[in-house]
Amino acid sequence: ETGVTQSPTHLIKTRGQQVTLRCSSQSGHNTVSWYQQALGQGPQFIFQYYREEENGRGNFPPRFSGLQFPNYSSELNVNALELDDSALYLCASRVSGGALRTGELFFGEGSRLTVL
Amino acid sequence: AQSVTQLGSHVSVSEGALVLLRCNYSSSVPPYLFWYVQYPNQGLQLLLKYTSAATLVKGINGFEAEFKKSETSFHLTKPSAHMSDAAEYFCAVSDTGNQCYFGTGTSLTVIP
């Protein structure tokens, strides 16, 4: 069983640039969510995708956007990068629907973004 | 609205001693509760979860947690700490599973 994989693992951008982070969900999982984890903090929910549509969003501005593809993989896009966007971005996948609704998340190892 | 409070951002225990990491939650509906562990430069790994079945939940690596509704707590314990338990631990709460609210984490140090 393939777990959640994310790319790139590390990247450096400058303020004002745009970044795209990618995530392949665990086999059989149809729901992907993204979290931002600032240094020394717990993960903060950015948004979730199910059936290629966003179906939940945290307190993040519109310059944070995403996509989910038919194979359930996902992208997180961040425009107009700010210094405070420096963080570990975690992708998590799970199964939604039916009897299995416990919400257990399976995380990738994250993409560490540094904004200079 | 849901939230999680983890008491103690840093906990140190001797190897072989009891581990107790505290978590209190706030939820307007019966919650799903989780403990995750994060090792340096890695993602989060599920230790255990509470989903309204047994109130005492057993997880991986000898960890367990007890759901106490009257105290709105879900503390994590392990009878005997091992050096490999040193990591960051996060408590999280979810209602329908659409969004997980995480605490700020507790860093566990194990002293040999």
Q: Which residue has the tokens 């257990």?
A: A104
Of A48, A104, A107, the CB nearest to B49: A104
For B50-83, the pLDDT digits (tens) are 887 788 999 999 999 999 988 999 999 999 999 9
Q: B32, A103: Cβ pair inside 8 Å?
A: yes
Q: B97, A44: Cβ pair inside 8 Å?
A: no
For the segment A56-83, the average pLDDT, to the nearest whole number, is 95
- For residue B72, give Cα distances in angstroms to A48, A64, B27, B84, B106: 27, 34, 9, 29, 18
For B8-60, the pLDDT digits (tens) are 999 999 999 999 999 999 877 777 899 999 998 888 999 999 887 788 999 99
Q: Nearest CA of chain A to the CA of B18: how many Å?
A: 24
Identify all chain B residues contacting A90, using CB atoms and an 8 Å cutoff. Answer: 43-44
Of A40, A103, A109, the CB nearest to B43: A109
Q: B104, A58: Cβ pair inside 8 Å?
A: no
Identify all chain B residues contacting A55, using CB atoms and an 8 Å cutoff. Answer: 98
Token reading at A57: 């969003």
Closest by CA position to B4, among listed A42, A14, A10 = A42
